[in-house]
Amino acid sequence: MAGAPPPRLLALPVIDMAAAAADEAAAAAAVRAACVGPGFFYVTNHGAEPLRGALFERTATLFDAPLAAKLAMRAAPPLFRGYTPLQEETLDPASQTEGDTKEGFYFGRDVPAGSAEAALPLHGPNAWPPEALAPGFRAAATAYFEAARALGFRLLRLLALALGLPAEHFHPSFARPMLFLRPLRYAPVASRPDAGLLGAGAHTDYGMLTLLATDGVPGLQIRQEGGWLGVPPLEGALIVNLGDLLERCGGLLRQQGGGRAAAAPHSPRASPLLTCAQPVADGQTGDSDQHCTGW
């Protein structure tokens, strides 16, 4: 809405992963404090930053492809991997009057078609764009995906320690993790939350952890103190958000109020996400109480 004041900013806690390697106990205590507070935190010196520039560059080329070429990769059942057009998703239908002003792609852990694992729900091969359409994208996305996966396992150690559990307690549940890389591009349309127009409506993330890399343009807001506070980008950092799956652990580590993206009228911008979820052998989340008693 024109003239509406910008949201107050919330400075999130910062977890230095280089320091965490030297003192996991101190880092786990800091993670716990962050999780029972805002439910979001920054991580620095995380290892994925050198790969971010290449991914953003190749992602821009992919989004600039003709719409017909992108629609040829449209996400569909049963895997739901591929392209999601502008405003196809509406994350908060109760409050939004239009769909999210973003487009995106879903890529996951590549599972060979015809394998036993591919018979599980949402497991299978990716719908990669042709190399001629987005040169170097698959290589850049795969490199970033693997770096983010390694970071995710390091964060799982800290979360386990934050709960007073053995460092690798979660690891057996992630032997075949359900991981997704979601490049997003927000349209150059100013969000008007009071009118129900948002880059991404209010929501919580369904998995274990979300690692958000931004292009430096503010947009993320989180619900705190009965309202929405803006999260400023931090150079070189990823933003970590706890998902619903971790929140099911008896509320010991609890995300506070979810997030949304309120876009300013900038040029189109991209934010790759990696979301970590936790399937067990049958593709379901399993008995949360069983996991929580050990978490």
State pLDDT tens for residues 57-104.
999 999 999 999 999 999 999 999 999 999 988 888 889 999 988 999
The number of C-alpha atoms within 13 Å of 58 and in the hemisphere containing its C-beta is 24
* Residue 5: per-residue pLDDT: 57
Task: Give the domain 14-99+108-202+237-249+271-294 fold.
Answer: Jelly Rolls (2.60.120)
Pairing relation of β-strands 259-261 and 178-182? Answer: unpaired
* Whether residue 237 has pLDDT greater than 80: yes
Whole-number mean pLDDT of the chain? Answer: 83
**Confidence bin at 150 (pLDDT 50/70/90):** very high
The single residue listed with the structure tokens 């036993």 is 116
pLDDT for 257 equals 60
Quote the strand ranges of 109-254, DSSP E. 178-182, 184-186, 200-203, 209-212, 220-224, 227-230, 238-242
- Where are the strands (E) in 8-164, listed by range? 14-16, 40-44, 82-84, 102-108
Give the pLDDT confidence score for residue 273 in this predicted structure. 64
Are β-strands 200-203 and 220-224 bridged in parallel, bridged antiparallel, or unpaired?
A: unpaired
Q: Which of 75-84, 142-151, 187-196 has the lowest mean pLDDT?
A: 187-196
pLDDT of residue 2: 47
Give the orientation angle of helix 137-162 with respect to helix 24-36, to 10 degrees. Answer: 90
- Report, as an integer, the average pLDDT of 271-289: 46
pLDDT at 268: 57
CB 239 within 8 A of CB 39: no
* Strand 14-16 relative to strand 40-44, pairing: parallel
Distances in whole angstroms, Cα of residue 99 to Cα of each of 85, 92, 156, 187, 223: 10, 9, 33, 12, 20
Residues linked to residue 175 through DSSP beta bridges, in sequence order: none
Q: For residue 173, which of 122, 206, 208 has the smallest C-alpha distance?
A: 208
Choice among 171-180, 214-223, 253-262 with the minimum mean pLDDT: 253-262
In angstroms, the CA 250 to CA 161 distance is 16
Query: What is the pLDDT, as a whole number, of residue 200?
Result: 84
What pLDDT is recorded for position 42?
Answer: 94
Query: What was the pLDDT predicted at 286?
Result: 37
